[in-house]
Structure formats: C-alpha cells, structure tokens
Amino acid sequence: MILGHFSSCPDMKYQTKAGAPEKQRTACLVLAVFERRKLSVPAQAADAACDGALAQILARGDIDGKSGQTLLLQAIEGIAADRVLLVGCGKQKSFDARQYLKAQATAAAALGALGAKDCLNTLTLLEISGRDKAWAVQHAVLAMDAQFYRFDELKSEKAPARTLKTVQLAISNKSKALEQALSLGVATAAGVALSMDLGNRPGNLCTPTDLAEQGLKLANQYKTIDCRVLEEKEMEKLGMGALLSVSRGSREPAKLIVMEYKGGDASATPIALVGKGLTFDAGGISIKPSARMEEMKFDMCGGATVFGVFQALAESDLPLHVVGVVPSSENLPDGAANKPGDVVTSMAGLTIEVINTDAEGRLILCDALTYTQREYKPRVLIDMATLTGACVVALGEHATGLFANNQELAQNLLDAGEQSCDRAWQMPLWEDYQAQIKSTVADIANVGGPGAGAITAACFLHRFTKQANWAHLDIAGTAWTSKKYSTGRPVPLLMQYLAQQAK
C-alpha cells in the first residue's frame, strides 16, 4: 500500500513505499554510496540484482562516495528502474543528521534536473546516528522540498516546469508512526514555503495590509483558523502607544493581526505565538546605512513564521489550541516619526524613552505581548523576531538566539531545535543586564548601549512578560541568508515543539 501527501510545491506528491527497491518500477531509483565506493545496504541488494554491475561501475572511479557527489546511470539490466542515481554520502561511520540532510538536498537537486516524473528514494533506509526511521521520512520531505522551492512570482520569465511530480520514500514496513511523520513533514514544508514566500516579497508588495489579508486568507482556506485584524483606532483605544509610535512615520497603517487555530479543545488555555511583522525597516529618524538596506524587507520574518506555523498546523491537524499575533508596521523617517528622546506609553502602562528609533521591533512587540496576555492568558508565550544585529554577531547564521524565563520551556525549545535541525542556543536573561535599559526620564529605555545588545533587547521584552511562561527567539541571523533569500526558520523548530506538545 502506498500512502501519500502533496507538498508545499503544488505539483509535488510525497509517498512512502515498502518493498524491494530494485524490483520497483520507477523513473529513477536513488541509491547511497559511502566513501571508498562502499554501497549502502539497499544499493548492495540492487547490485546483486544486476550481477555486480554497480560495483563494476564504482571500480571505474567515476564516483568515490564523497558527500555531494552524484552519478546518473541509465537502464541497468536487472534493476526495474529506468535510471539509477548514485548519491555520495561521505563516511559511513560518521553519517549523521547533517550529512543525511545534505544527501537528500543533493539528490533533490539532481532529480530536479532530470526528465523523470517520479523516483524511489532509498536514502530513508540508511542508518542515521541518533535518529529513527520516522525522523528520516519527515526530514527527507523537508530537505527535498527546500531544494525544490523557487521564488519567481515577480519574474517575467519563470523557471522551467519541473518534470518530477512524485517522490516515493522507501521504508521497510508501513506503520502509523511513519505515516504521521510523512504528514508532519509535508505540513511543515508547506508552512516553511509560505514563510519564505512572505519573506522574499519586497516591501511595496508585502505591506501590513498585505499581511492582514494573508491572515484572512488562511481563515477562509481552513475551518480550523479564525482571524481578525485590529486597526489603528482600535489599537489607540487599547493604549498601544508603543506600537503606534512606530507607524507614525509611514503612510501604511499599522495592523494587529490576531489568528486562532482550533485544532483541539477551543476552551483549553492556548499556546501563543507572537511574531514581529515589520514589513520594511529603514530605521526611522535613526536611519540605517544605505548599503544592504533592501534586506530590511526581511524584518517581518517573525510574523511570516507565525503565518507559516498556522498553515502547517492546519495542514497537520495537530490537536492544539494556538493563538498567533502579528503586530505589523513600517519604520520610516518622516516629520511625524519617533524622534530620539521621545517618550511613549505602552499598553502595559510603562513609559519608554526612545533612544534609538531603529530599535523599533521591541516597541511593536511589547504592546502585542501585553495584548496577547490580557486577551488569552496563554499557558506558553513565545515571540520570534529579527530583533538585533547583535545576535548575528554572537551566533552568526547557524543558531537562533533563545531567551526564556522558564528553564523547562527553554529546554523543550532547545530539544525541538536539535530534533528539527533548526537549532537554537540559549542566552542569559540575568537581572544584571536590566540596569543597562534604565532611563532618567521614563520607566525604561528602548536600547541599553553597545554591549550585550541581543540580551538587553530580550530584557526589555521581559519587562512585559514577567508573569508569563515566556520565551523569545531572536532570528536576525537565521531568518534569511547572505544570498538575500528567506529560510523559513524557525517554522521547523516551532512545529517540532508543537507536535511534542500535542502528544
């Protein structure tokens, strides 16, 4: 029996397939080769079926098995597949999750260039250090789908249509656990793709109004999602002076987008996700340097994460009650914009001295965090934001900065990051750092000086979340790459965390 799910790529379907791979009719059979031309166990079975033809080919030296290598073979007698794609996987003794994901991405890149309409991928049968078969299936989908992703909606010449339509993932025996892993992988891939799409769109085509429409679109698409949008007048009545102070410099009205996913008991205390939706950040009066300012369209990737997670939740049907809040604005210089030294009043009643108008993310987040706590009283509150360049300096592009006032929550998120290969690294949230954000004229300043910038930003947010079970993810280094392309992170981390919570 073959069970399948469609991926984030509308024309791609993923399935699990049991049975001897060498006997399956498919346009391309994917087999692993380790360094020193060592065939994987599935490849050994295929080699026996073709009377050692694969070993003879390896002996010629066209592929050694190093990570990233591929070799395409046509019509091997004794193997039912039309083609065989050999994929180098590196050293077998050290074959781990990182090498596995690289091998899957390598296979996907090669398959995407072929004329094959379907394939049978046996990399899911490999032994991966510290991982089980369900993990292999779930992350095969994520790794391959990321490779298949393209963003050409704004180009007059679209990329050529991909011939490949179906990916079969080889399994030894069908099981409920493997089908659940496949479903979660496909759902998460869909959420990652949506997050990437939103992040990659330019600021003139992804405004706060556009993000609000995206929330309403999800609500129309899925019965388990509700959405409402608060306008500036409603935010003003609620006392959101910090959030609204950021939008004053823009012609685009701010939006507070509030979504609810009701996949479980809607009366249950929810998990809340709050994502920074700053659709373009020029820095305001404290204007940024012009070099690479175009990348500031990615400053809404925290909000894009919330949308991506909600799509993944709806696709996966996880039995949870989750609230998603996205405060959205632009940060531009204008005669009405915040000035350095201005004092604004947050929804929580704390006054804030705006030392630097480019530290605007915490201003829109603090009101959104207050609103979320008052309206929903969540059992867990997690915010994610491209908040500080200081976090990029500290951790680079490999790990998300994690801050939390509850160690159990922090550990759960760290574990989810390890499991999903969307890793985070915990940073301190010590009371010692609070002294840096003291103000002489207000309750709190919005920056704390040049030292420990990511930490003092988290300390600022903690002033508004001390009564909550709260964590903050600084994704400034992980939300997009140096090639100016969104990554969809940390959707995988959060979906892994939520899947564990659903259990």
Which residues are marked as active site? 288, 362
Give the single-character DSSP code of 158.
P
Contact at 8 Å (CB) between 356 and 242?
no
Q: How far apart are CA 64 and CA 90, in angstroms?
A: 9
User: Which tokens is 42 given?
Assistant: 């599935």
Phi, psi of 272 (to 5 degrees): -115, 135
Distances 242 to 11, 123, 275, 345, 471 between C-alpha atoms, Å: 44, 51, 16, 6, 21
Contacts of 192 (CB under 8 A, 6+ apart): 8, 142, 145, 146, 308, 312, 488, 491, 492
**Run of H or E residues at 262:** strand 255-262
> Where does 360-432 show beta strands of DSSP type E?
380-385, 400-404, 424-426
Give the single-character DSSP code of 281.
E
Contacts of 61 (CB under 8 A, 6+ apart): none
Q: How far apart are CA 482 and CA 432, in angstroms?
A: 34
Alpha helical stretches, state H, 201-345: 208-221, 232-238, 241-247, 301-316
Contacts of 289 (CB under 8 A, 6+ apart): none
Q: How far apart are CA 472 and CA 404, in angstroms?
A: 6
Contact at 8 Å (CB) between 272 and 249?
no
Residue corresponding to tokens 């996949």: 263
